[in-house]
Amino acid sequence: MSNEGLIENYNNLKDIKPKHLPKEVFIWDETLRDGEQTPGVFLTIDEKTEIAKLMDDMGVAVIAAGFPAVSKSEAKAVKRIANEGFSASIAAPARALHSDIDACIDCGVDEIPLFIASSNLHLKYKLKMTREEVLDRVSDSIGYAKDHGVVVDFILEDSSRSEFDFLVEIYKTAIESGADRICACDTVGFLRPLSMKYLMSRLRDEIWKIKKVPLAIHCHNDFGLATANTLAAVEEGVTFPLICINGYGERAGNAAFEEVVMALEVLYGIDTHIKTDMLYELSTLTEKFFTVPLPIHKAIVGVNAFSHESGIHVHGELGHPLTYEPIAPESVGRKRLFILGKFTGRHIIRRKLKSKNIEATDDQICDILDKIKKEQESIGKKERCDMFDEVKERTLKMHSGVDDNRFWAIVSEILE
């Protein structure tokens, strides 16, 4: 069925096409690092490897496999993934410390995202370093990593709340020290999309005066703007978006893999090199291993993303799928669902009966509809709320970590 002339697509207007919009981007996935930092989540080595393999099969360019300096088990997981022979570049982050860099090198990774903070807030209260000390640390650590023959990505934490001139000074130092890629971070999701465009356009111009290195962006979702801000950064020339499957990550999470990929492919026409029909498989596998249930209404991968109950919507869908769906569910590995319930209309009933070669009068269809609606409401509201409370309580318990009682018991065991 041709869609020509059926809809207007204002996304394609030449007058609003960003000047620096790239033709392709390369997906940098942080699920096995930042994503696993979702409170209460723990992945086994086999689970990490299975997720990484699926991402590699899909076309992910960079896979951050974990943080080797965290623990021996984390280093073991990173080393295994690095030795799997994937097509993706395997990365492991390091603070601007020789010991962290050594831990990454020992794992045999292809690249090291080396990070340090740049805002006055972080310098004063976390790093307790002067600007000069930060610059010296950046130069020394990047040089040390480059001497070991790895690709170095330089990442500035809290860059979205840092003084601009100091940002440029640090990035210049990083590039002159050998950094291969530059990444800005909206660490607490503090920017609006227009603010992101402003910051990244200025940074792009200043950084590319020094050297035209690839630009990356890492956005958190504290205000629900991580995907929007990531797209805003791509509009200004960023070609490496850092994203997490299902939007997992610390606090409110990160820009969601599936949202960013499909927005870039469909709304911008940018090639992400991702096999999008595998997105749902990746989402459900990760959800299972993370044991963090997705919201039913989650974009692209949520249960309701391609589900319809309202009679008006179902009627439209039966006429043409684009009436109430912006993309075909098959494009992301999904199927369309028609739900029977309170808002069901006659058209889906007729459709289902026809599929079985069953005929019914208008009155019979009305009776069927009436019975369906009563059936759904037969489960009392109190019972539904009780079931919901039980599910929520179990979910919270599963992700509460080690409680205070156990913490103090551990302290007693160690200090006795």
Instruction: Reduce the secondary structure of 131-155 to three states and give it as a string.
Output: HHHHHHHHHHHHHHHHCCCCEEEEE
Spell out the residues 6+ positions from residue 65 whose beta carbon is closer than 8 angstroms to its own. Answer: 32, 33, 48, 52, 77, 78, 81, 82, 90, 91, 92, 107, 109
In this predicted structure, the answer to whether residue 1 has a pLDDT above a threshold of 60 is: no
Question: Is 247 in contact with 293 (CB distance < 8 Å)?
Answer: no
In this predicted structure, the answer to whether residue 352 has a pLDDT above a threshold of 80 is: yes
CA dist., res. 281 & res. 287, Å (int): 10
Over the stretch 26-80, which tens digit does the pLDDT of each residue have? 999 999 999 999 998 999 999 999 999 999 999 999 999 999 999 999 999 999 9
Same topology between domain 18-290 and domain 303-378:
no
Beta strands in 134-247 (DSSP E): 151-157, 181-186, 215-219, 240-243
Question: Is 68 in contact with 78 (CB distance < 8 Å)?
Answer: yes
In this predicted structure, the answer to whether residue 229 has a pLDDT above a threshold of 90 is: yes
Q: What is the pLDDT of residue 318?
A: 86
Q: What is the pLDDT of residue 3?
A: 67
Question: Is 167 in contact with 134 (CB distance < 8 Å)?
Answer: no
Q: What is the pLDDT of residue 205?
A: 98
| Confidence grade of residue 416 (pLDDT, cut at 50, 70, 90) | confident
Q: What is the pLDDT of residue 5?
A: 80
Beta strands at 240-243 and 215-219: parallel, antiparallel or unpaired? parallel
DSSP 294: P
In this predicted structure, the answer to whether residue 305 has a pLDDT above a threshold of 90 is: yes
Q: What is the pLDDT of residue 348?
A: 87
CA dist., res. 375 & res. 300, Å (int): 29
Question: Is 72 in contact with 54 (CB distance < 8 Å)?
Answer: no
Average pLDDT estimate for 296-314: 91
pTM: 0.93
Q: Within 13 Å of residue 70, how many CA atoms lie on the same side as its CB? A: 16
Instruction: Provide the mean pLDDT of the chain.
Output: 94
Question: Is 176 in contact with 210 (CB distance < 8 Å)?
Answer: yes
Query: 3-state class of 292 per DSSP?
Result: coil
Query: 3-state class of 28 per DSSP?
Result: strand
Q: What is the pLDDT of residue 316?
A: 83
Domain 303-378 sits in CATH at 4.10.430.20
| Confidence grade of residue 344 (pLDDT, cut at 50, 70, 90) | confident
Average pLDDT estimate for 338-347: 85
Hey, what amino acid is at 26? F
Question: Is 202 in contact with 162 (CB distance < 8 Å)?
Answer: no
In this predicted structure, the answer to whether residue 187 has a pLDDT above a threshold of 80 is: yes
Q: What is the pLDDT of residue 386?
A: 87
Domain 18-290 sits in CATH at 3.20.20.70
Q: What is the pLDDT of residue 2?
A: 56
Spell out the residues 6+ positions from residue 379 whose beta carbon is closer than 8 angstroms to its own. Answer: none
Q: What is the pLDDT of residue 387?
A: 85
Domain ranges across the chain: 18-290, 303-378
Q: Which residue would you say has higher pLDDT here, 260 or 405? A: 260
In this predicted structure, the answer to whether residue 376 has a pLDDT above a threshold of 80 is: no
Q: What is the pLDDT of residue 218?
A: 98
Of the chain, the percentage scoring pLDDT greater than 70 comes to: 99
In this predicted structure, the answer to whether residue 335 has a pLDDT above a threshold of 80 is: yes
CA dist., res. 178 & res. 172, Å (int): 10
Q: Which residue would you say has higher pLDDT here, 242 or 314? A: 242
Q: What is the pLDDT of residue 373?
A: 82
Average pLDDT estimate for 125-129: 97
Q: What is the pLDDT of residue 315?
A: 82
